Chain A
Amino acid sequence: MDFLVGFTIFIFSLIVVANMVPSLLVGLQRTIAIDYDAVAYRTAVILVEDPGEPTVPDNYQAHDPTQYRWDSKTPGFLKALMQGSTAVRFGLAVSRESPNILSQRKINLFFDPTFTVEDFRKSLIFGSINYGFNITLTRLDTQQVLTNGTGPYPEGRYGYIRRYVKIKNYTNATITNTTHPEFNATTEYVSANQFQYFRVILEGSGLYKKSESGVDKYIYSPPYVIDPTQDNITVNLHLEQYLNNSQVNGGLYGDWYDHAEDAWKKNCNFDPLDNPADCLLPGDPWYQGRPPNFATLRSIRFTDRSGGPIDLITAGAKVTVFYHDPDPPGTMLPLPDTYLPRPTDPEPSPGVRVGKWLNLTISNIPEAYMDLTKRLDIVYTFGEIPVYTNGGTGTPLYIPRTMLSGTLLYDYNPANVTQPALSSGILEVAIW
């Protein structure tokens, strides 16, 4: 009897313990499940700390022309690469040496609607599992929110990581009469077919290197370098402030003519108040009976150090120009391609009338045209159609409507160029 009781207790305990053993292994079973946090972490590390693939070394030197940065290509080109055998990896970092600092152009490209969920799975998240994901980048300064992914955050469990980043902003040069009065030329007449030039110089050696105590050094680390091959270059000309009128250039011509204190009145050989018939009549397209409210832009061209023409657009650069339309004064219009002529094209005539502003942005300057040893010039040509005295029958006069001429160095001088600045942002990755 006692034996039976003892044996029962023993067996009963054994069963209890045996029941406990499997629960030891329960924890291990969960490793079969996907660790979503780890996938999210991995994805965020690729995005934030990696410049992506394909890429080139950060030495700003001429390199094998078959090498390129992934962000120097269009979304369509990259999509074709992904379909092919070339490895493409989305990485948003400016360079390998500067984790957490993201390139604005890479961000723009990454959030381009051309790319599908499948493209991101193939070139960012990797693995054979079709994860759901949500990648959100929030700029803390502008509150701009960019999102990629399969949809909003799910109700259930998902892996999540948050990374804090800095976003490298583009630079721009804004030329106004206040900041750059030296560009106000004192040209009185322009002879026939003589143009006025305004030049912006991007000097590779000045942008990438400087000589300090006789030693060449890279000027700034990639987050702070003005790199035309990676960053957009913008030049905004406040033309209105350089126009040939008394509001800006009052008295420039002194007593050249008795009553013609302003150059714009020189389209009349005589005092227009005395003898209006000698002037162009109102209604004439080039009538200048009032101060000019526009300049005549002939073209914007690109040249290298020796002045040799560069076909930047055919080479893959994107040039966007907007000009203020003076007739009637109002909106900003995109500049027709005719005024961004190929090197062999003749100077377009008659030119386009540009009012208050002329804003140019170049992105994707190919590395073939910009490295340590190269120079790229942006050359604005302004030229006038002659005005004729005596109601159109007299001597042709070429009177500049804009006084803008000179050369601007696009460099690290804050007086010329708004310097590269970093803005804070938050990158969030969720995987499920």
Chain B
Amino acid sequence: MVNTGAQLYTMEGLSAGVIMILTAYLVLGSTSVYTPGDTHITDMQLEQVGADVLKIMDTPANLTTTSELEQIVATGNIDGRFHQLFWETYLMSGDIAAQKTTRTGSSIITTAMVYYHNRTYGTVQGYQLSGPVIPYSGSEPGVKVTRYVKVNGRGPGMPPGVENRPQVMLVEVFLWKA
């Protein structure tokens, strides 16, 4: 009287349900529809701001001086001058009008590298110009902004590998939200 035929219906229904829910779960979980206002726009803003700051730092104030960035690259990051300018003077400036409502950026961490061409080895080598306050964990979203800086020769703040000749160096700043 009791057979296993009807139980198949139950099992069939159960497995069908599980498969459907699993599929829907996977579909929902794997597709992320980015909409404007999402994080990538914020990243774009951070990238824009970072690039702007580098550009402003690399613009000489007048015809007879060199730019702030060029001075820092040439003489080295004395007393954390790079962080002081990039982060305090510009990025986190106290003169930002919107700071009361939108200044959440104080958690932005920056680190800067300088890359140069080593002719002896034919390679591009780099050294750290400014270190991060907190090390990068690898999981936070971050952006990189770069700027080519012209230097006239080997400066006191440069590692031994930099040759004493006019050259262009790449300053790369990595910004992320901690």
A residues with a Cβ closer than 8 A to B are 1-3, 5-10, 12-14, 16-17, 20-21, 23-24, 27-28, 30-31, 33, 35-38, 41, 100-101, 134, 136, 138, 140, 143, 145, 147, 153, 160-166, 220, 223-224, 412, 414, 419-424, 426, 428, 430
Interface residues as binary, B9-49 with A (CB distance below 8 Å gives 1, 0 otherwise): 11111101110110110011001011111000100110011
**Which residues from chain A contact B63 at a C-beta distance below 8 Å?**
220, 224, 412, 419-420
Cβ of B6 under 8 Å from chain A: yes
Q: Which secondary structure characterizes the binding site on chain B?
A: helix
Listed A/B pairs (6) with beta-carbon separation below 8 Å: A14-B20, A24-B27, A30-B35, A38-B36, A100-B55, A422-B61
**Which residues from chain B contact A134 at a C-beta distance below 8 Å?**
97
Give chain A nearest CB distance to B67 CB in angstroms: 10
Residue in A closest to B7 when the chains form the complex, CB atoms:
A2
Cβ of B98 under 8 Å from chain A: yes
Cβ of B96 under 8 Å from chain A: yes
**Which residues from chain A contact B36 at a C-beta distance below 8 Å?**
30-31, 33, 35, 37-38
Which residues of chain B (90-105) have a CB below 8 Å from chain A? 90, 93, 95-98, 100-102
Residue in B16, B31, B98 whose CB lies within 8 Å of A10 = B16
Cβ of B53 under 8 Å from chain A: yes
Cβ of B84 under 8 Å from chain A: no
Interface size classification for chain B: 35 or more
Give chain B nearest CB distance to A8 CB in angstroms: 7
Cβ of B59 under 8 Å from chain A: yes
Say yes or no: A6-B11 contact (C-beta < 8 A), given A13-B17, A37-B45: yes
**Which residues from chain B contact A7 at a C-beta distance below 8 Å?**
9, 13
Q: Is the CB of A6 within 8 A of B27?
A: no
How far, in angstroms, from A134 to B23 measured CA to CA in the complex? 47
Residue in A162, A166, A220, A224 whose CB lies within 8 Å of B49 = A162
How far, in angstroms, from A28 to B33 measured CA to CA in the complex? 7
Residue in B closest to A29 when the chains form the complex, CB atoms:
B35
**Which residues from chain B contact A3 at a C-beta distance below 8 Å?**
6, 9
Cβ of B62 under 8 Å from chain A: yes
Say yes or no: A420-B90 contact (C-beta < 8 A), given A2-B10, A164-B49: no
Residue in A16, A101, A145, A160 whose CB lies within 8 Å of B59 = A101
Say yes or no: A37-B37 contact (C-beta < 8 A), given A14-B20, A136-B97, A422-B59: yes
Interface residues as binary, B56-82 with A (CB distance below 8 Å gives 1, 0 otherwise): 100111111000000000000000000
Q: Is the CB of A17 within 8 A of B21?
A: yes
How far, in angstroms, from A162 to B100 measured CA to CA in the complex? 14
Residue in B closest to A165 when the chains form the complex, CB atoms:
B56
Q: Is the CB of B64 within 8 A of A419?
A: yes
Residue in B6, B21, B45, B62 whose CB lies within 8 Å of A421 = B62
Say yes or no: A37-B41 contact (C-beta < 8 A), given A17-B21, A162-B96: yes
Residue in A20, A147, A163, A422 whose CB lies within 8 Å of B24 = A20
Residue in B closest to A135 when the chains form the complex, CB atoms:
B97
Give chain B nearest CB distance to A116 CB in angstroms: 21
Q: Is the CB of B102 within 8 A of A138?
A: no
Q: Is the CB of A140 within 8 A of B89?
A: yes
**Which residues from chain B contact A424 at a C-beta distance below 8 Å?**
56, 89-90
Q: Is the CB of A9 within 8 A of B17?
A: yes
Q: Is the CB of B95 within 8 A of A9?
A: no
Residue in B closest to A98 when the chains form the complex, CB atoms:
B59
Question: Top 7 A-B pairs ranked by shortest CB distance?
Answer: A6-B13, A13-B17, A2-B6, A27-B33, A6-B9, A35-B36, A136-B97
How far, in angstroms, from A431 to B28 measured CA to CA in the complex? 33
How far, in angstroms, from A37 to B10 measured CA to CA in the complex? 53
Q: Is the CB of B21 within 8 A of A428?
A: no
Q: Is the CB of A28 within 8 A of B13?
A: no
How far, in angstroms, from A17 to B28 measured CA to CA in the complex? 11
Beyond the given pairs A37-B45, A224-B62, A426-B93, 10 more chain A to chain B contacts, judged by CB atoms under 8 angstroms and listed by A's residue number, are A2-B9, A14-B20, A27-B35, A35-B41, A138-B96, A138-B97, A223-B59, A421-B62, A424-B56, A430-B98
How far, in angstroms, from A220 to B95 measured CA to CA in the complex? 31
**Which residues from chain B contact A1 at a C-beta distance below 8 Å?**
6
Say yes or no: A143-B95 contact (C-beta < 8 A), given A6-B12, A37-B45: yes
**Which residues from chain B contact A16 at a C-beta distance below 8 Å?**
20-21, 24
